[in-house]
Each structure stands twice: as C-alpha cells, then as structure tokens.
Amino acid sequence: MWRLMRRRHETEPQAAGEAAAQAAVTVAPVEPDLQSAAFFDVDNTMMRGASIYHFARGLATRGMFTTSDLFKFAVGQAVFRLRGNENPEHIAVARETALAFVAGAKVDDVVRLGEEIYDEVMADRIWGGTRALAQSHLDAGQRVWLVTATPVELARVIAQRLGLTGALGTVAESSNGVYTGRLVGDLLHGPAKAEAVRALARREGLDLTQCTAYSDSANDLPMLSLVGQAVAINPDSELREYAKKHDWPIRDFRTGRKATLTALPIAAGVGAVAGGVAAGIALRRHYRTQG
C-alpha cells in the first residue's frame, strides 16, 4: 500500500505538468520589425536628471570624494543649463580634464559600480511614461536603443536594466581593461548622435524613415530630424517651439515643481562632461588610496 501511494505521489506532479502543458495557450510571437527602431536620449528623457551626475552622486556616498565636490559640479551644470551655453572650447577643456582623471581606472570597476549605483540611485528616476513608450516599441517587435553622451559602459547598464536592445554612448579608449585617458572619436553629443544613429542604421539594415527618436533637448535636433517620427519628451523651450512648428508630438511627464527642478540639471554634452569630471576625480582618488 505504501509503495502504491508513493508511486502515485511521484507520478501526480508529472501528470499535472503534462496536463498543464497540453492546456497551455500558445501566444503568437510578435513578428520582428527588422527595419524599424526607436532611439531614446537618456538625460531628462528616459531619466530625471543626468545619469552621469547620479553616478557621481553614488560614488560620493561611497566616500570616493566629498559632497562639496559634487555640489560644485551641480552648480556648474545648472549654470550651463540656464545660460544655454555649450561653448565648444569649454566642452573641450572639461572633456580633457575628465579624461585625465579617469585614466588608469579599470573598465570592469566602472561597470560594476554602474550596476550598483543604477539599482540604488537611478532606477527610481526612470520616467514611467517614457519607459512605457520604449516598451510599446519592443512589443511591436522593434529594437530600442539609448543614445547618450554618457559613457557607453554606463549607458549599457541602463539599457540592460530596462530590457532594451542596447546603447550608443561616448566611447573612452581602454587598453587591457584600463582606461587610457583618451576618447575614441568625440563626445556623443549633438551632430555626433545623428552620425551614430546613421552608422547603426547602416549596420543593422534599418530604414530611418520608419524609425522614431525621442529627446528633451534642442541639442538633439540633428538626431530627431534624421528619422521619420520625432517626439519631444519633457522638452526644453527651444525644442518645444520647434516641435510645435513641425507638428511633432510632445509628451511632458513633469508636473508643477517637478518640471522646474528637472529643467535645471544640465544640457546633455556639458552635463555629461561635468559629471564625468566628478566621477573621474572620485575614481582617481579611489585608485590612489588603493595603491
């Protein structure tokens, strides 16, 4: 009797599993749309504020540099944003400074810290509305790419956490897993974003007239004008006016005080550089103390 009960006990889960499998309803897979894709800016489009600034803030909580350093960079970013001043000479100087500080940092360390800090600081700053737009493209079988001046390693972390296809970001040169302090090309900002999207389209066989791009900044007009459908997300005043003039959809997920606050943290290019300087200082100090 015991053996019979034991045999029934062992076979019942198997029978239940087989029955469930037979009763399962197969949902027709989404037919991949191989010619269409969506391109999303990150800072103030997909995420409230600047991703690299949040990364630097995460480093500050780890004691890698002081909160006063972080405050100085935040003020500098706000000034640039309010002035609308992205002087190429200022960008070049700040870029070289950031690269000098990051030289010698390990790529794997940056990726690891990026994953930790995303989960701690950035995840709650993703705009739900923008995330839903990205998901709608994925549900339609389209690929979704982030396009940002943020370092590509951090951009990839964000894309992976959101379940997106991938990311285009600023590429810092590395050798044997260590940053050299030089860029491969230049900051992925303004016209460079459009060139990156164009190059990706050639590689992936995309028809840009069937693609969509999203951004909050007039700095991204080259990318927005490259595709068949442009959408302004939480737009700055210049992009809002341009979008109205050209009948582009406008989606604003900010309300009241939140809209005012999120307008302050940085324009894409200078903000990425300023935050990069902060992150670079932190990593530099970290490696000096480890040495």
What type of residue is 97? Answer: T
Residue 248 to residues 4, 229, 245, 251, 268, Cα–Cα distance (Å): 71, 8, 8, 10, 21
What is the distance, to the nearest Å, from the Cα of residue 81 to the centroid of all Cα atoms in its chain? 19
The beta-strand segments (E) located in the chain are 37-40, 143-151, 166-170, 172-175, 178-183, 212-215, 229-233, 250-251
Q: Of these residues, 43, 69, 220, 236, which one is catalytic?
A: 43
Task: Give the whole-angstrom CA distance, residue 76 versus residue 196.
Answer: 28
Q: Annotated catalytic, 41?
A: yes
115 exposure class (CB count in 10 Å sphere: 0-12, 13-18, 19+):
middle
Q: Annotated catalytic, 43?
A: yes
18 exposure class (CB count in 10 Å sphere: 0-12, 13-18, 19+):
exposed
Rounded to 10 degrees, the C-alpha dihedral 229/234/236/240 comes to 50
Q: Of these residues, 33, 41, 139, 186, which one is catalytic?
A: 41
- Which tokens is 58 given? 């995460």
What type of residue is 76? Answer: G
The answer to whether the beta carbons of residues 39 and 150 sit under 8 Å apart is: no
The beta-strand segments (E) located in 184-225 are 212-215
How many residues make up the chain in this entry? 291
CB neighbours of 123 closer than 8 A, spacing ≥ 6? Answer: 161
Known catalytic residues?
A: 41, 43
